[in-house]
Chain A
Amino acid sequence: MSAMLGEPYATRDDARLLAELEALTLHHQAGCPPFARITAGWRPSGRLEDVPFLHVGIFKDMLLQTHATGIRHQRRLASSATTSGVSSSVALDEHSSALQSASARHVLAAWLGNERAPLVVLDSARALRERGAVSARLAAALSLRPLATDLTFVLPDAGDPSGLDWDAVRLASAGGVITVYGFTWILWSAWARGAMPDIVRDQLRNVTIRFVHSGGWKKLESAKVDRATFDRALLDAAGPGSHVLDYYGLVEQVGMIFPLCEAGRRHVPRWGEVIARNPWTLKPTDQLGQLQLLNPLAWGAPYHSVLTEDMGTVPMDPCPCGRVGRTFILDGRIPKAELRGCANV
């Protein structure tokens, strides 16, 4: 278990992080034959940048599991299918889940405070009843659970933002503080642009709301909604002390969340690392590059080091917001090339 969990934005013990990541890599090589084949020849080198990674797409191609003493696999985490039409599949296990839950709790507490409050999730509870698999959206919502006194799902149908159950929101917010979580687009379409009844609006003017959202901005960009408009629309119908927290995270690295600060940077907890790599050489770069995310929390499958398809830069200077530790500036997805060929594409 990583002993690094705790205050996320403090000075990092680089040697310890490296040792944990290298040990974890050896653990996966021993227990996950496909990973061992991919990383054949790798040995600890004493450098973080040499810790091998898996491309994020590999989790769409195959289900990877690491078998070892003490590792008990539970459910499978499935992303919603993206534009590719293929979803990622990540094996969850008890040990990692505990670490991931602790990771999310520490990070969120640093941004939202330790006060527990009812959690309102803009999603359907139906996903909870699915056996064997848990959706990425649900997993993202459940990462907030340590800060929740109660959990309320307010969308009977996740595909229909207009069906938001405002009565449930009113009941959940009776205590004066709530946390509201939703994917960015759903938070916008169901809440900010939803038909909020007057009685709910009147009540929420006196409720401190901690809006938390994750997920891409593509749909909002299409709708020409910028971040300021988005935040303003949410906060206009919320009480004093309310705020909006946007975080980035990978389905393939549940529990590792990277909140956006007021200076526009994403903050990496001290038990994680981010490296930007040149897509054509895969060498680390101080320029815009393909982001690799590392953490020592994943024991049941080798998703401790993942090369994403997101682009960003990793500034080396301290963040103007004052938080300590590694940061990155997310630029967006790698532009997708149109597939050309013949009649069979």
Chain B
Amino acid sequence: MAGYQRLNSGAVPMSEPVRFRSRDGHDTLVWFPFDLDRFLADAARARNALVRQVPPEFNRNEWAYLITMLAPSHILSSMEQIFGRRVDDADGVVRWDAVPRGSVAIWAPGNVSLLAPLVMLAAVVSGNQVRLKGTSRAADLSGAFLRALRGTVGAESFATCFTSVEHAVFDRTDPRSATWAAESLVRVVFGSDAAAQAIHGMPHPLESIGFSFTDRRSEAWIEFGAVDEAVLRDLAAVFAIYGQAGCTSPARVVLIGATREEALLFRSRLVDAWPTAVREDVEMHTASQVTRASQWAQASGWDVQSAPRHAAALAVGPLSLPRHEANHALWISWASLDEAVTTAPTNLQTIGHAVHDPLDTGWQRALMRTSVRRWVPLRQMHHFGWNWDGEDWWRQLFRIREWRS
């Protein structure tokens, strides 16, 4: 058993360390305050119990994403991406050990339906003591996810980990933000740039670190020749979940090297594929806003067709046309790779690709000229990782100690 120091709370007992091995044979011992195997087994039970219990705060798509992240295989593979392959033997050379830093505070707006709950989940899995700030202005989705996890029957050790999360709902002026900043060794802030600056600007321990998940945009880059039914379904699915409101949602689709005619054909096929990927109707207000966005786009020179039952406005036009901040309008343009690069937003987060060879050096050279943080297949655009936004953030929830003989 070992312990780690938490501010104001003394030592917490650790289980035996879990050993991970990098490709060069060096091992990292990771300490958790729980038995990892039992935790993973309970996570599987919890997932099975929760899979059909969609809380009213979430829609089915959102819940499916969240539940996917509870899969033991996902949790373990996320850890292995950070520390290397999990091993049970002692054949490797221990070079590091990793101890939870102690305390993580998360400031989460209520409407961040995927990212914030997943950060909370990952922070709990790291073994740190977690504080979670919800919101009183919107549905507190992180809080709703937390309640669901706490209530899992038959997975008590798992549920207990979430029971220990301190969850509070308060607004941005509440003095508890200052208290949490002063007492936490890791600050994770979702919100505007100004909100993140305000939190990180509060007095905090010198050895603490902070992460900000702020305003980002994402795109889909597609080669027309690489389009098949799966690509069309993937695009519809990733767009439908948030429209343009997600930082990992495709705000525009760029058909690299395509022509206008190919873009129109692509849109037509996308309309046909939409119902096979998205089976639920959008909310009535969204359908109405799709009508509005369609008319704005038509007035502005876009060629527009609605996805069935006004699920989205699918607009085709050159990159030079103005785009509207309409949430459920998908802007589809054709362009050269150079045009795509030069018109990419400066806060580009993710590019979802559907291209013949995504690892071709031509893509790498082009992406070097953008601020993109992720280049992933279309269907993985929303797949939250424990390395995110260019930050190896989950690893940094641990204090890494070096061991040399």
Closest to B296 in A: A61
- Please, which residues of chain A bring their CB within 8 A of the CB of B215? 343-344
Would A58 and B295 count as touching, CB distance under 8 A?
A: yes
- Please, which residues of chain A bring their CB within 8 A of the CB of B283? 335, 337
Would A280 and B310 count as touching, CB distance under 8 A?
A: yes
A38 and B138 in contact, given A61-B292, A341-B111, A342-B246 (Cβ under 8 angstroms): no
A55–B299 Cα gap in the complex (Å)?
12
Which of A54, A61, A279, A340 touches B310 (beta carbons < 8 Å)?
A: A279
Query: Taking the nearest CB of chain B, how far is it from the CB of A330, in angstroms?
Result: 16
Instruction: Check: B285 CB closer than 8 A to any chain A CB.
Output: yes
A20–B249 Cα gap in the complex (Å)?
45
Would A343 and B112 count as touching, CB distance under 8 A?
A: yes
Q: Report how many A-B pairs have Cβ atoms within 8 Å.
A: 114
A61–B284 Cα gap in the complex (Å)?
20
Query: Taking the nearest CB of chain A, how far is it from the CB of B278, in angstroms?
Result: 13
Instruction: Check: A115 CB closer than 8 A to any chain B CB.
Output: no
Instruction: Check: A188 CB closer than 8 A to any chain B CB.
Output: no
Instruction: Check: A339 CB closer than 8 A to any chain B CB.
Output: yes
Would B281 and A341 count as touching, CB distance under 8 A?
A: no
Instruction: Check: B380 CB closer than 8 A to any chain A CB.
Output: no
Instruction: Check: B291 CB closer than 8 A to any chain A CB.
Output: yes
* Residue from the set A40, A343, A344 with the largest chain B CB neighbour count within 10 Å: A343
A339 and B296 in contact, given A334-B284, A334-B288, A345-B111 (Cβ under 8 angstroms): no
Instruction: Check: B190 CB closer than 8 A to any chain A CB.
Output: yes
Would B296 and A343 count as touching, CB distance under 8 A?
A: no
- Please, which residues of chain B bring their CB within 8 A of the CB of A153? none
Instruction: Check: B113 CB closer than 8 A to any chain A CB.
Output: yes
- Please, which residues of chain A bring their CB within 8 A of the CB of B298? 37-38, 40
Main secondary structure of the interface of B (DSSP, over half): loop
B-contact 0/1 string along A14-42, CB 8 Å cutoff: 00000000000000000000110110100
* Interface residues in A, total, Cβ within 8 A: 31
A251–B191 Cα gap in the complex (Å)?
35
A40–B266 Cα gap in the complex (Å)?
22
Would B112 and A338 count as touching, CB distance under 8 A?
A: no
Instruction: Check: B301 CB closer than 8 A to any chain A CB.
Output: yes
* Interface residues in B, total, Cβ within 8 A: 46
Query: Taking the nearest CB of chain A, how far is it from the CB of B137, in angstroms?
Result: 10
A280–B282 Cα gap in the complex (Å)?
8
Closest to B196 in A: A343
Would B190 and A343 count as touching, CB distance under 8 A?
A: yes
- Please, which residues of chain A bring their CB within 8 A of the CB of B285? 309, 334-337
Which of B192, B244, B289 touches A343 (beta carbons < 8 Å)?
A: B192
Would A343 and B288 count as touching, CB distance under 8 A?
A: no
- Please, which residues of chain A bring their CB within 8 A of the CB of B327? 339
Query: Taking the nearest CB of chain A, how far is it from the CB of B146, in angstroms?
Result: 17
Instruction: Check: B216 CB closer than 8 A to any chain A CB.
Output: yes
A residues near B, CB below 8 A?
34-35, 37-38, 40, 54-58, 61-62, 279-282, 290, 307, 309, 334-345
Q: State the 10 A-B residue pairs at the shortest beta-carbon distance, nearest first.
A: A341-B245, A342-B247, A34-B299, A57-B292, A344-B215, A55-B292, A337-B283, A280-B309, A341-B246, A279-B287
Q: Can you give 18 A-B contacts (C-beta < 8 A)?
A: A35-B299, A54-B295, A56-B292, A57-B288, A57-B289, A58-B295, A61-B324, A279-B284, A282-B291, A334-B288, A338-B111, A339-B327, A341-B246, A341-B247, A342-B216, A343-B213, A344-B214, A345-B245
